[in-house]
Structure 1
Amino acid sequence: MTPDRATAAINVALTDLNEDHALRMVLQSRDDLRANPDARAAWCHRSAEAHGLNLDALLRAVIGREFGDDPPTWTIADPLPDDWMPADPFRTDDQVRNQTPKWLARCRIYIAERVLQTA
């Protein structure tokens, strides 16, 4: 997957009003990047943004995190203007906040660490 393909998949999911699938596309993008380190160069540039501000911010955050100290410039962004917490049927809002990694909470995105794990 490339940033533009990931963005397109997220946008299709959002057009279908399926935020859960869009979230899975963000995580799948991260997993593809992890599985194929040779693809890192393809992730350095992006020409499109996700239609949903929250999902775009999440994609920026997780991909930027994968690059560590030298993230692509497109992944660097200000925190969201408002807190965003996708629905979590297994945790209360307080539990989600307490279980969100600090690097993600700095973006004002609250998703429990367990939800971010795919393996």
Structure 2
Amino acid sequence: MDKDSRAVSQLLNDALIESGLSQAAFATALGTSASRFSTYRSGKTKPTAQFFLRARRLAHALQAAREYRIMSAPATATAIREATDDDWAWRMLLQGRDHLRLLLNRHDGSEAAWEAAPTPTGHAGFDTLLAVLTAHEFETAGEAPPDWTKHKPLPAPWIPPHPFLNRDEIITQTPPYLAQANIFVPNRDLMTA
């Protein structure tokens, strides 16, 4: 392996460590497979300059988010996946969304922690909801949403149980951007203190 290829391999290894993610999770965050990322790290395959720069930028943003104790998209998906019940999963989703808002308001590039694609939560509804909420926050901030947020609507309506609203009330109180994804949650349940 030539000197430049060794340097690229080392910098990708450094980016992986800096990201704080496993190789598989960091590969997902970058939009590639773990096996493909492994070939980049070993120098068997040369990544594009764009991929290389993206890996370094996302790794830096993920590390900064951890240092600030602010959730990233991968951290939010993990918190949802590890939640012991749907109420806690919902709290983690909204906390992550609120952290994204904070990062988008910083205008310092730290929002790249939300460009990192998350691994699946284990629930199609939460996966799609996380993607839709993330896209909505980026669009509201005047930024282009990350590629991973482009999800197809759920094949069947997802209407999480509500303590006092009936099905029709939930549907009529759902914001259009969620209804388009076949997710029905009243706008009031998206508010946080």
* TM-score (norm: length of structure 1): 0.92
Higher percent of residues as helix: 2
Which runs of 5 or more structure 1 residues have no equivalent in the other structure?
none
% same residue: 39
Distance 1:66 1:54 in 2: 18
CA-CA distance at 1:36 after TM superposition? 2.5
| Offset from partner CA, 1:63-95 (integer Å, 9 cap, x none) | 110011611010111000100011111211110
29-38 or 94-103, which moves further after superposition? 29-38
* TM-score (norm: length of structure 2): 0.58
| Residue 47 to residue 55, structure 1, CA distance change in 2 (3 Å) | closer
Aligned to 1:50: 121
Aligned to 2:155: 81
For the aligned residues, what is the CA RMSD?
Answer: 1.2
**Higher relative contact order (Cα pairs below 8 Å, separated by 6+ residues):** 1
Aligned to 1:30: 97
Distance 1:11 1:47 in 2: 11
Distance 1:78 1:61 in 2: 10
Matches within 5 A, 1:1-119: 1-13=71-83, 16=84, 18-37=85-104, 38=108, 39-68=110-139, 70-119=144-193
Mapped contact 2:77–2:118 kept (Cα < 8 A): no
Distance 2:183 2:150 in 1: 15
Distance 1:94 1:50 in 2: 28
Distance 1:25 1:115 in 2: 13
Distance 1:70 1:87 in 2: 32
Amino acid at match of 1:29: G
Distance 2:72 2:101 in 1: 12
Aligned to 2:21: none
Moved over 6 A (4+): none
CA-CA distance at 1:58 after TM superposition? 0.6
Which runs of 5 or more structure 2 residues have no equivalent in the other structure?
1-70
Mapped contact 2:178–2:184 kept (Cα < 8 A): yes
